[in-house]
């Protein structure tokens, strides 16, 4: 089976599920996201079947940035706050010795918690590429998808 991303609901919970028949090369990254609750990271658990790895990211009561701004534009304050939250998560990842190149900075996979309005980012602890989403590219290039999205959503004032 190839790499894929699906949404799954189980027992009142919603999950973003990543499937990959990967041989882990860096168990540290995987163990860190599974065994630690890190602010700004989508909570993750794993499931294995033979040589296949499934990562279940908790998205219950969360809404993607893409869905949040589907029918409306973003103000400067909203964009500024979004980048502050992304920056916080990136800095937080450094304190756990996690490589920021493994974050998926794509509005479709960045989630706001509907209760706390906290940002949760998807962290994939291995090379992954599907549906124009890739991780472990040079750090700056991960912002292109977000930048394209924001350019369409920004409110231009005259």
pLDDT in tens, 104-153: 888 999 999 988 989 999 998 876 655 545 554 545 566 778 888 888 88
How far apart are alpha carbons 139 and 100 in whole angstroms?
7
Q: Can you give the C-alpha Rg of the chain in angstroms?
A: 16
CB 35 within 8 A of CB 86: no
Catalogue the E-assigned strands of 75-132. Answer: 103-104, 110-113, 119-123, 128-130
Q: pLDDT tens digits, residue range 32-75?
A: 999 998 999 999 999 887 777 889 999 999 999 999 999 999 98
How far apart are alpha carbons 99 and 44 in whole angstroms?
17
Q: Is the pLDDT of residue 3 over 70?
A: no
Residue with the larger pLDDT of the pair 21 and 57: 57
User: What sign does the CA torsion over 85, 90, 93, 99 have?
Assistant: positive
């Amino acid at each position: 089976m190839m790499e894929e991303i699906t949404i799954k609901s189980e027992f009142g919970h919603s999950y973003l599920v990543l499937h990959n028949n990967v041989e882990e090369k860096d168990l540290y990254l995987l163990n860190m996201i599974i065994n630690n609750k890190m602010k700004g990271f989508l909570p993750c658990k794993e499931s294995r079947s033979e040589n296949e790895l499934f990562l279940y990211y908790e998205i219950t009561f969360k809404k993607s940035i893409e869905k949040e701004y589907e029918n409306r534009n973003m103000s400067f304050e909203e964009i500024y706050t979004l980048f502050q939250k992304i920056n916080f998560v990136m800095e937080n990842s450094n304190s756990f010795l996690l490589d920021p190149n493994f974050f998926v900075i794509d509005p479709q996979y960045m989630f706001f918690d509907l209760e706390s309005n906290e940002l949760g980012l998807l962290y994939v602890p291995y090379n992954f590429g599907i549906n124009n989403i890739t991780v472990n590219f040079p750090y700056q290039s991960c912002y292109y998808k977000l930048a394209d999205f924001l350019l369409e959503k920004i409110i231009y004032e005259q």
